[in-house]
Structure 1
Amino acid sequence: MMRELQVSLNQTQKVRLQAALQHLSDLASQASSSTLVVTVSDTIPVNGEDGILKGHGTSELDGKVVATLCGVVERVNKLVYVRTLRARYKPEVGDIIVGRVIEIAPKRWKLEINFSQNAVLMLQSMNLPDGIQRRRNAVDELNMRSIFEENDVVCAEVRGFQHDGSLHLQARSQKYGKLERGQLLRVPAYLVKRRKQHFHDLEQYGVDLILGCNGFIWVGEHAAPRVNDMVVDEEDSMVKDKEQHYETPLEIRQHICRIANSVRLLAALGFALSVEAIIDTTEASKSSNVEIKDMLGSEFYVQTAEREVQRRISILKKKRG
């Protein structure tokens, strides 16, 4: 898991970092000039419209709509609500998440997913090792620990909330399942935006990157799609035995550590995590001949902030034509 990054800056680095962050703040205000940012007790202008629906983060005081949260005012027809800038993770159906198994219960695994409650992955919502679609039986239940055990890292999809209030997951695709030979990082969930693609095969590094919507990030050795895990003869058994004694090559481990440090650095600076930003930071560290252990040092920390300023200026210029 990720710890809070402590960076010791000298006076020059402090001045450079402060200038970069101020520039980023100015650029953000330019980009959001058409949006209304409010703090607690600010009045939200509704232009005297009738039938206004007061949503999350709003209240009525002396006939006015006021904000009860800090954030951005959003409107959907007559509904007015405040979207917080640093919200906790709120699961939505279809979210790709990464979690850690904390308990094996009858016909289910319980996972920690960076939410106010643990999630549940039912045995019936999981592909069986033999790949055959059939009803789960008592033998399958007895063999649950051979699929996932405590502390295993698992990728799954949010299925929804059940009538009892519990959050259920499903892992019925080959892309879901146990994650091995890598690092699990935990970042604030608001830094991971929901996108069409959360699985990334970084071929140039031989690494898989999974950006969990819940703020759990997986960086690990690229895993070939599983076709069938069932052992059918002695030759297959020997292959499995080889896999158990397999070690990740040193170069791949170095790539994993470098990419993981890029994630840590971007998260510490409060920048949104995208595959493009992570690769850019990784490549910048390599081109600058920065050692993996020095990526979390003060100089590269400041350089990353300064590089983000240039990236956003470039984006703004492109938008303006």
Structure 2
Amino acid sequence: MSQKFHIRLASQRVNTSIAENQRYPKIFTPGETITKQNEFMRGHGTYEDNGELKSSVAGVREQVNNLISVKPLKSRYNGEVGDIVVGRITEVQQKRWKVDTNARLDSILLLSSVNLPGGELRRRSVEDEHMMRQYLQEGDLISAEVQSVHSDGTLSLHTRSLRYGKLGQGVLLKVFPSLIQRSKTHFHNLPVGASVILGNNGFIWICPIINNSEDSVGGFVQNLEEKVPRQERESIGRIRNCIQALAMCKMMIYDTSILYAYEESLKYSIVELLVPEAMVDIAILTQHRLSMIEV
């Protein structure tokens, strides 16, 4: 069976950055002037030069009252209480699991911070501690919420909701945490036949449609033996490539931008979406549609 390969010279590489065409958010580069007004205070990622506030890193501007800072585009995840994260179990310890959440240190999921199968509320016993590896073991993917942040930056997670728990069949995609737009909900059932969990830590989980009415066992069911229809697998693959195109072009990722990118990608096959020219084309068309909404 013949396969197609796309080989290009360095001089023929495509500029995948369309940040200068974006209206929101603007990506500031090192040395670029943020504002010339003097009433603003200097935050992380900024410095003063001749009365101007400039960016010292490449990232997105964040403002709280008069404090202006620049969040680096490429950085580790700095968790906040209430964030939705997707992580991978790295180690099983005494009464706790260690989870990779793309932060500087592994996060902690205590045995007392999970719902056991059946959803029953009771004190965790020695038997529960011996069965921890049956609940979650190394390599398992989970969705959770940040419960607290320790002084050293370690995150404490919890899954005390039927929305959270072990993840089953799907695709994991990693992007820069700064590209995930904060919203009221990060769980989306898209009308194209797939569900998406947009983790604030930059881990995105794409899977078949999640039916919450079936999740009544505390978030430990994976349904690995269930066959996913071909149409749903194709939708998952297309969504994955669309998100990859948005991330490569430094565009914010949320439910609306994913849907617009999906609709603009229908003129390409799933494999063609991996070509840089197609990825840039989809990102530009998506940004144009998003700018029309802002107007």
TM class by shorter-chain length? 0.7 to 0.9
Greater Cα shift, 216-225 or 126-135 = 216-225
CA–CA distance in 2 between the matches of 1:165 and 1:195? 23
CA–CA distance in 1 between the matches of 2:236 and 2:93? 33
Given candidates 270, 280, 284, the residue that maps to 1:302 is 280
Asked if 1 retains the 8 angstrom alpha-carbon contact of 2:32 and 2:54, the reply is yes
User: Secondary structure at 1:160's aligned position in 2?
Assistant: strand
Pair 1:115–1:315, CA change in 2 (3 A):
same
User: Secondary structure at 2:69's aligned position in 1?
Assistant: strand
Q: Deviations over 1:52-104 (max 9, x none)?
A: 86543456789x68657246474625xx4422352632211000000011111
Asked if 2 retains the 8 angstrom alpha-carbon contact of 1:192 and 1:213, the reply is yes
Counterpart of 1:116 in structure 2 is: 104
| CA deviation after TM superposition for structure 1 residue 42, in Å | 6.6
* Sequence identity (%): 32
Counterpart of 1:265 in structure 2 is: 245
Counterpart of 1:274 in structure 2 is: 254
CA–CA distance in 1 between the matches of 2:285 and 2:275? 16
Asked if 2 retains the 8 angstrom alpha-carbon contact of 1:209 and 1:220, the reply is yes
| CA deviation after TM superposition for structure 1 residue 302, in Å | 3.4
Q: Which runs of 5+ in 1 are unaligned?
A: 1-5, 231-239
Q: Which runs of 5+ in 2 are unaligned?
A: 1-5
Is 1:254 aligned to 2:266, yes or no? no
| CA deviation after TM superposition for structure 1 residue 297, in Å | 1.6
| Structure with max Cα Rg | 1
Q: Deviations over 1:89-121 (max 9, x none)?
A: 221100000001111111111111111111000
Within 5 Å, give how 1:17-36 maps onto structure 2: 21=18, 25-26=20-21, 28=23
Within 5 Å, give how 1:55-74 maps onto structure 2: 55-57=43-45, 67=54, 69-70=56-57, 72=61, 74=63
Asked if 2 retains the 8 angstrom alpha-carbon contact of 1:185 and 1:260, the reply is yes
Asked if 2 retains the 8 angstrom alpha-carbon contact of 1:7 and 1:298, the reply is no
User: Secondary structure at 1:292's aligned position in 2?
Assistant: coil
CA–CA distance in 2 between the matches of 1:279 and 1:27? 18
Asked if 1 retains the 8 angstrom alpha-carbon contact of 2:206 and 2:236, the reply is yes
CA–CA distance in 1 between the matches of 2:206 and 2:27? 37
Is 1:97 aligned to 2:97, yes or no? no
Is 1:208 aligned to 2:195, yes or no? yes
Q: Deviations over 1:258-313 (max 9, x none)?
A: 11111111111111111111122222222x1x221111124422321331353244
CA–CA distance in 2 between the matches of 1:261 and 1:179? 20
Asked if 2 retains the 8 angstrom alpha-carbon contact of 1:38 and 1:73, the reply is no
Counterpart of 1:172 in structure 2 is: 160
Counterpart of 1:195 in structure 2 is: 183
Counterpart of 1:142 in structure 2 is: 130
CA–CA distance in 2 between the matches of 1:309 and 1:53? 31
CA–CA distance in 1 between the matches of 2:12 and 2:34? 41
Task: Give TM-score scaled by structure 1 length.
Answer: 0.75
RMSD: 3.6
Counterpart of 1:227 in structure 2 is: 216
Pair 1:56–1:175, CA change in 2 (3 A):
same
Counterpart of 2:148 in structure 1 is: 160
User: Secondary structure at 1:295's aligned position in 2?
Assistant: helix
User: Secondary structure at 1:131's aligned position in 2?
Assistant: coil
Letter in 2 for 1:282: Y
Counterpart of 1:3 in structure 2 is: none
Asked if 2 retains the 8 angstrom alpha-carbon contact of 1:39 and 1:69, the reply is yes
Q: How many residues align?
A: 284
CA–CA distance in 2 between the matches of 1:300 and 1:204? 20
